[in-house]
Amino acid sequence: MGDASSSDSSSGNKHPSLSAPLSNLPQPHRYITGHNPSGQAIVHKHNPFIWQPYDNDNLAFSVAYTTNQFPADLNNDADVSAHETLLSSGNLGLVNPKGTVLRCVDFAPGYACGMHRTQSLDYGIVIEGNIDMVLDSGERYKMKRGDVAVQRATQHQWVNTSETEWARMMFVLQDCKELVVGGQKMGEDLGTNSGLPPSGN
């Protein structure tokens, strides 16, 4: 487990920050670009991912970036300021209303997160290991490194079926309009073990 760190809180919650992954997977780094006064591209900020543990250290989140509007406003680093303000507030749920969230998630060997649904359109990419996507209909799909799930506000669960290896996914969550199926509103359902506040969308 990594050392506790209070800098650049990465998931917008009250869980302790870690400066290294809980898992034995490589530590990713984040590079935020910008412009110098001449309009040339520079790296505005770079740092290792900061992690928050959940569910008895079987799950770890790191939020690399968020936006709070679409299209994003990059002028005068407005997006950077909005991102840092949101994370320091401790109010970020799984989804950022009217915006996006880029989140890396590590799953411990044998771990299954709770069935849940976000009111969002999500791109989930397997980065390391193998993981099963389970839907509330009973459908189950094995995903390997490089596979992509396009989650469209559906009830789902992630299961790391390996008993020895951690799995890692990268998610881009995008707020979406309220979804109604068969006259039923398909709003956010955090399940039982998210440990996160409601998204508020």
Instruction: Please determine, for residue 129, whether its predicted confidence score (pLDDT) is greater than 80.
Output: yes
Instruction: Please determine, for residue 81, whether its predicted confidence score (pLDDT) is greater than 60.
Output: yes
Contact between residue 161 and residue 113 where contact means Cβ atoms under 8 Å apart: no
Element (H, E) at 79: helix 78-89
Average pLDDT estimate for 55-60: 94
Q: How far apart are CA 76 and CA 86, in angstroms?
A: 17
> pLDDT grade, residue 15 (50/70/90)?
low
What is the pLDDT at residue 14? 58
- Ordered by where they begin, the domains of the chain are 29-185 (2.60.120.10)
pTM over 0.85: yes
> Which residues, 6 or more positions from 198, have their beta carbon under 8 angstroms from its beta carbon?
93, 188, 190
For residue 195, give the 3-state DSSP assignment: coil
Instruction: Please determine, for residue 4, whether its predicted confidence score (pLDDT) is greater than 50.
Output: no
Instruction: Please determine, for residue 7, whether its predicted confidence score (pLDDT) is greater than 70.
Output: no
pLDDT in tens, 61-73: 999 999 999 999 9
